[in-house]
Amino acid sequence: MQIDCKVTFYPGPKIVKASKGDNLLEVARKAGIEINSVCGGDGICGKCKVVVREGAVSAEATVLLTRGEIQRGFVLACKAIINSDLEVEIPAESTFEGAQIVIEGVENKFAYSPIAEVDRSKELEEKEIFIHSALATKLFLKLPSPDLKDNVSDLTRLYRELRKGRSIPIMQTGLTNIKNLSALLRSSNWDVTVTLGKRNETTEIVQIEAGDTSKNNFGIAVDIGTTTVVAHLIDLNTQETLGAKGTYNKQITYGDDVITRIVYASEKDGLEKLNAAIVENINSLIASLVTENNIRLSDVAAVLCAGNTTMTHLLLKIDPQYIRKEPYVPTASFVPVIRASEVGIKINPRGLLSCVPAVASYVGGDMTAGVLAAGINKSSDLSVLIDMGTNGEIVLGNKDWTVCAACSSGPAFEGSGMKCGMRARLGAIQTVEISKDFDVQYAVIGNGKPHGICGSALIDILAEFLKVGVVERSGKIKRSLNTNRIRINEDNIAEFVLVFKEETDTNEDIVISETDIDNLIRAKGAIYSGTAILVRSMGLGFNDVKHFYISGAFGSHLNIEKAIFFGLLPDIPREKYKFIGNSSIAGARMCLLSMENYEEASEIAQKMTSFELSSVPQYMDEYMSALFLPHTDLSLFPTVSAALK
């Protein structure tokens, strides 16, 4: 006899019906509740830990839970059999949100524009790289031992040797290093390795070690996105990227976008919680990177972060509330280099933390980093950079000037607000093709059954809808079409079934509704019109722009052709487009590796003019015109227009 049980999942709460004897993980999955699991429910990976607050479960013995965890109610969801009504709490680390993103490979998903890279390294070579150009540099020194004819102080001896053939005008060091200096120099027989750190305009002796440890000099570049956090481990001597890790920003628990997080930061302990979340994120990424690469944490002496202005404030535990209040003033756009330990980031205890400077409240260090990575500030050619993150940000300029704007596209391209949207991770449909008879071909990340649709596929879908005529140019689904994929849902809204439930891992249809389409059109309209207004405000047209750099979380799967068809990107020669992936971390990496790059970034941030789109009278008209597929004015999209005919 089947006994009904009620399982209440937290956070939420979400109440789900189940039967006594059901497997807890399966019940959660059927209900669309995300619980992490790597081993597929075999009780091996230990990723699906949940806490049973109320009610009874039975479960096998396991070594994956400590005695303390079991006493606090922890159980592996995949091995828990429901015995009664339950109240179940899903800790952040057991959701996909809390789990690390699978990164396809450094060269691939997170590499930055090879063009920018080659240009820059050549240039640095020509310039003869300043010996401690990286945020942290290790130098092995053999000091002459003192005698009566040369008995300057130990510190003077060290400074003297450091300055031999090196231009280090302003050098500082802390009392901690001075206190240890005499004993260290003598016990190491005057052979020491000095870690020099760049603290803005000055050079700091960060650490002094006995013997030659100069080979062990690593740094971390971090992109702090509103949604994802990515870290690269970099050998600061060879400039090689040794590993890359990504994870979802734990702050998501407190709000999806920067505005809700700023609001949350004003609540009691809000700022502390948001700060703790991102610091935990970064620490966990660093811990994974050093462990997997067999590196000591103490050999990591530098962290360089790029993030939007709010993310940077939260990282440094600076109240971000004035960012969202007119006239939108951040506390700091340039933040000084500090000791990483000051914000709880765990590297070498005296290691440094630097952040890429921001332009304004809504154009952050991530954009500065993007401009640097794309090399816009070095080129006489006019370029546009569009970053499609949780918000859309646009830069236009060249080596002489740059303007930028943020457009409130919202996180639609990250799957947010979509009925079946999700971020680009395991189970996400990444690319879609639809034939004239509405047959749907799709590819899924990880090649399993699909779970939802991520950004690149959403763009594909809209382009295909237009091409094969699923929708009108207004975005309305043609209800009259002869296909079982189109139907009217319980809210009386038309929707298109992309994947029927038989093929999905949720046992529910994966659909796109007219509401979803509206969302996507508004998002693309914001980006397209923002770009158009920005270009036009400078008295230019799209044809004047030589390079169109696109960065964002699409992975390597953004289909430029379809993005144009959809009306997201202007209809210009395709060779002008270059998808440069995560340009924020690319720029962060460059700043980590070279002070010259950091100074360039500072100059970029300082010189860039932030443009308030809403203050341009034509913006609303332009935006309204862009709410069509691809646009009200078809003449702007000649190739699309031709294809549609």
For a copy of itself, give the closer residue by CB, 271 or 463: 271
Query: Which stretch in 23-31, 135-143, 235-243, 329-337 sits in contact with a copy of itself by CB under 8 A?
Result: 329-337
The closest of 69, 70, 79, 61 to 22, measured between CA atoms, is 79
Q: Are strands 202-210 and 171-173 parallel, antiparallel or unpaired?
A: parallel
To the nearest 5 percent, what fractions of the chain are helix, strand and coil?
35, 25, 40
Rg, C-alpha atoms of the chain: 27
Residue 503: closest CA among 418, 557, 457, 441: 441
Q: How far is the CB of 316 from a copy of itself (least distance, A)?
A: 6
Helix 154-163 × helix 175-187 angle, to 10°? 90
By the rule CB under 8 A, 147 interacts with a copy of itself: yes
Q: Sort 369 into a burial class: Cβ within 10 Å, 0-12 / 13-18 / 19+.
A: buried
* 144 makes contact with a copy of itself (CB under 8 A): no
Question: Which of 169, 539 has the CB closer to a copy of itself?
Answer: 169
Binds a copy of itself (CB under 8 A): choice among 15, 56, 170, 620: 170
Judged by CB under 8 A, which of 56, 152, 287, 620 binds a copy of itself?
Answer: 152
Say how many residues touch a copy of itself, by CB under 8 A: 52
Sketch the per residue contact string, 201 through 220, with a copy of itself: x for CB under 8 A, - otherwise. xx------------------
**Within 508-527, which residues bind a copy of itself (CB under 8 A)?**
none
Which of 200, 260, 283, 489 lies at the binding interface for a copy of itself (CB under 8 A)? 200
Residues 614-633 that bind a copy of itself (CB under 8 A): 615
E strand or H helix at 276: helix 270-292
332 near a copy of itself, judged by CB under 8 A: yes
Token representation of residue 198: 């760049």
Contact with a copy of itself (CB under 8 A) among 156, 435, 474, 543: 156
**Minimum distance between the CB of residue 376 and a copy of itself, rounded to whole angstroms?**
22
Bridge partner list, 196: 137, 205
Part of the chain binding a copy of itself (CB under 8 A), chosen from 225-233, 334-342, 392-400, 514-522: 334-342
Among 134, 360, 422, 588, binds a copy of itself (CB under 8 A): 360
| Binding of residue 68 to a copy of itself (CB under 8 A) | no
Q: How far is the CB of 391 from a copy of itself (least distance, A)?
A: 18
Sign of CA dihedral 166, 170, 174, 180: positive
How crowded is residue 448: how many other Cβ atoms within 10 Å of its Cβ? 11
Question: Shortest approach of a copy of itself to residue 340 CB, angstroms?
Answer: 12
Among 277, 279, 335, 434, binds a copy of itself (CB under 8 A): 335
Cβ-proximal residues to 21 (8 Å cutoff; 6+ apart), any chain = 81, 82
The whole-angstrom distance between residue 375's C-alpha and the CA centroid of its chain comes to 20
Residue 240 in the binding site for a copy of itself (CB under 8 A): no
Given a contact cutoff of 8 angstroms between Cβ atoms, the answer to whether 205 and 154 are in contact is: no
Single out the segment in contact with a copy of itself by CB under 8 A; choices: 37-45, 165-173, 208-216, 223-231: 165-173
Whole-angstrom CA distances from 607 to 168, 371, 400, 493, 601 are 27, 12, 9, 48, 10
Q: Does 172 participate in binding a copy of itself (rule CB under 8 A)? A: yes
Candidates 10, 130, 140, 328; binder of a copy of itself (CB under 8 A) is: 328
Q: How far apart are CA 618 and CA 464, in angstroms?
A: 30
Task: Please identify, using beta-carbon distances, which residue of 131 and 178 lies nearer to a copy of itself.
Answer: 178
Least CB distance from residue 164 to a copy of itself, whole Å? 17
- Whether the CB-CB separation of 512 and 422 falls below 8 Å is answered with no
**Which is nearer to a copy of itself, 289 or 335 (by Cβ)?**
335
- Contact stretch for a copy of itself (CB under 8 A) within 10-18, 57-65, 282-290, 353-361: 353-361
Is there binding between residue 603 and a copy of itself (CB under 8 A)?
A: no
- The least CB distance from residue 183 to a copy of itself, in Å, is 7
Among the residues of 151-269, which ranges form H helices?
154-163, 175-187, 258-265
Residue linked to tokens 């992309």: 498
CA–CA gap between residue 163 and residue 203 (Å, rounded): 11
Instruction: Check binding of 153 to a copy of itself (CB under 8 A).
Output: yes
Residue 330 CB, nearest approach to a copy of itself (Å): 4
Given 85, 235, 257, 319, the residue binding a copy of itself (CB under 8 A): 319
| Exposure class string for 205-239: b at 16+ Cβ within 10 A, else e | bbbbbeebbbebbbbbbbbbbbbbbbbbbbbbeeb
Instruction: Summarize as ranges the residues that interact with a copy of itself (CB under 8 A).
Output: 146-148, 150-157, 169-170, 172-175, 178-179, 181-183, 186, 199-202, 316-319, 321-322, 326-336, 338, 342-343, 358, 360-361, 612, 615
